[in-house]
Amino acid sequence: MAPGIEHGKEQAGRPSPAPGRSARLWLTFVDGLAVLGTILIGVLMVIICTDIVARNAMGSSLPLVSELGALLLVMIVCLQLPATVRADRLARTEVFYIPIRESHPKLGAALSCVFNLVGSCVLGAIAWASWSILAKDYSSGEFIGVTGIATLPTFPFRILILVGIAVSSIQFLVQAIAELRTVNWRGPSHVSD
């Protein structure tokens, strides 16, 4: 977790200030996306279990299961990514990152800031590309399924995917700013006890 993001965390012996109203709203929004992703995991489980029962009882699969499952998986990942970024749970090489962070906090914060800025730029580019896919799907009336049996438009799924990616990009930027605030370039580079 980036220092200063959560109330009650301490940085260099000082308690961090309570987040302001806009920060609390942002955190609630990020958590809300994660909750929606969790609910969609339950929906996906129900769809898969229902399909298994249908295969055993009727000898055939339900329509839309594979297409809907694929879109739901991508949506779940995208909706839960902002909370993962906020919780600092993304994979990184901790073999050298944690020792650097502990022995040289300023260098560790700078390294984390660069990591977060790169993440923000990469996800911003993905969001930009996703916008054109969303516009194309909406204008062409793209759908999944088999015409005459069961179909669903793809644009609602694409909207949630875009929201998740865009919010993740912004969350990376928030993390980078929080890391920059922890760096006091004039003070000593090693925190003493």
Per-residue model confidence (pLDDT) at position 45: 96
CA-closest candidate to residue 153, choices 171, 134, 128: 134
Q: Which residues contact 163 (CB under 8 A, 6 or more apart)?
A: 33, 78, 79
Band of the pLDDT at 164, cuts 50, 70, 90?
very high
Say if pTM beats, i.e. exceeds, 0.75. yes
> How does pLDDT run across 39-51, given as a tens digit for each residue?
999 999 999 999 9
Per-residue model confidence (pLDDT) at position 191: 47
Q: Which residue has the higher pLDDT, 1 or 120?
A: 120
Q: What angle do CA 24, 2, 113 make, to 5 degrees?
A: 120
What sign does the CA torsion over 65, 69, 70, 75 have?
A: positive
Q: Which residue is listed with tokens 């809907």? A: 68
Per-residue model confidence (pLDDT) at position 188: 54
* pLDDT (average), residues 83-90: 92
Predicted confidence (pLDDT) at residue 93 exceeds the cutoff of 80? no
CA dist 192 → 12, 187, 188 (Å): 9, 12, 9
Q: Which residue has the higher pLDDT, 31 or 145?
A: 31
82 residue type, one letter:
P
Percentage of the chain beyond pLDDT 90 is 56
CA atoms within 13 A on the CB side of 181: 13
CA-closest candidate to residue 36, choices 69, 77, 90: 77
